[in-house]
Amino acid sequence: MEQIILLGVLSTALSAVHAQSFLYSPQWGPIGYKEREKQKDATAMDTIIKANEFQVSRIIDGTTTLREGDIAVSTGRRSKACFARSCLWSKSVDGHVYIAYSLSPDYSEMETKQIEKGMENIEKGTCVRFVPRTHQRDYIDIQPMSGCWSYLGVRGGRQAVSLQSPQCLQVGVISHELMHALGFVHEQSRFDRDTYVTIMWPNIWRDRLRNFEKFKTDSLDLPYDYDSIMHFGRYSFSQDGQPTIIPKNSQIIKLGQANSLSHIDKLKINRMYKCGDRDDN
């Protein structure tokens, strides 16, 4: 009984801390997002952050947390390093990478079409093909859970991709999460990113500093891609409406994408999966 009371007190205290962090940064999020929405250049990542920060606990369940805002990581399982090509989906002898998927029956016909558009976005110009699951052992199971998130690369067996409706059902957001499932991290977490962008640490919401870590990534001999659908927006995780990422080349004004993969995103997929560059389709 005492333990139950103690837990109750603890959870009240924790929720007070959580509420307080919002109070400390009253301008974080909502104001920044409204400004971005007005300008109609919110990136896919901005939409994801909006969905996840307000609706998902950072801990999805007892063993899964979100890294960098939307990459699911199981704490009870050694997370594989995708950069060494160890968590790629297998390639068929016909040269395509077939990714089997199942879709929750909870999605409407319209929502299903939208998810298919997100898949087509990736398929166009790449060797990846999404196919409804029949018997495949490894597959993604797309569900309208809480928030927009995916695991990184193939995990073996069933792996969830959450696309909450309607928050995560924009084509760009769907493509972004599927790119994580293919094994891609965010563009600005590239090991060489400091050559191309300046991270404005004082402007980042304090609890989210870890979302801006760098990783030992394989650049696949491709240039840094400011236009990537995997790039954070200029104001991602801003605590006061000020930019959190600024391109070093001041002539480049846009970071990230709202709706579609960049040209380099497609090259990335083809290089990572050794499919050759397919500029023609």
Catalytically annotated residues: 177
Binding residues for Zn ion, how many (CB under 5 A)?
1
Measured distance CA(9)–CA(6) in Å, rounded: 5
Residue where the block lists tokens 């990581």? 73
Q: Which is nearer to Zn ion, 126 or 162 (CB)?
A: 162
CB of 69 to Zn ion, least distance (A): 6
Measured distance CA(277)–CA(281) in Å, rounded: 10
Footprint of Zn ion on 134-193 (CB under 5 A) = none
Q: Which is nearer to Zn ion, 91 or 145 (CB)?
A: 145
Residues making up the annotated binding site for Zn(2+) are 176, 180, 186
The window from 64-72, 138-146, 205-213, 246-254 that contacts Zn ion (CB under 5 A) reads 64-72
CA dihedral 127, 133, 135, 140 (to 10 degrees): 80
Q: Which is nearer to Zn ion, 53 or 70 (CB)?
A: 70
CB of 70 to Zn ion, least distance (A): 4
| DSSP 3-state of 28 | coil
Measured distance CA(172)–CA(174) in Å, rounded: 5
- Spatial contact of 118 and 174, defined as CB atoms under 8 Å apart: yes
DSSP state of 99: E
CB of 215 to Zn ion, least distance (A): 13
The window from 52-60, 63-71, 120-128, 260-268 that contacts Zn ion (CB under 5 A) reads 63-71
Q: Which is nearer to Zn ion, 70 or 265 (CB)?
A: 70
Q: Mask 66-85, x = binds Zn ion (CB under 5 A)?
A: ----x---------------
What is the enclosing helix (H) or strand (E) of 171? Answer: helix 171-182
DSSP state of 238: B
Residue where the block lists tokens 């974080």? 28
53 binds Zn ion (CB under 5 A): no
| Footprint on this chain of Zn ion (rule: CB under 5 A) | 70
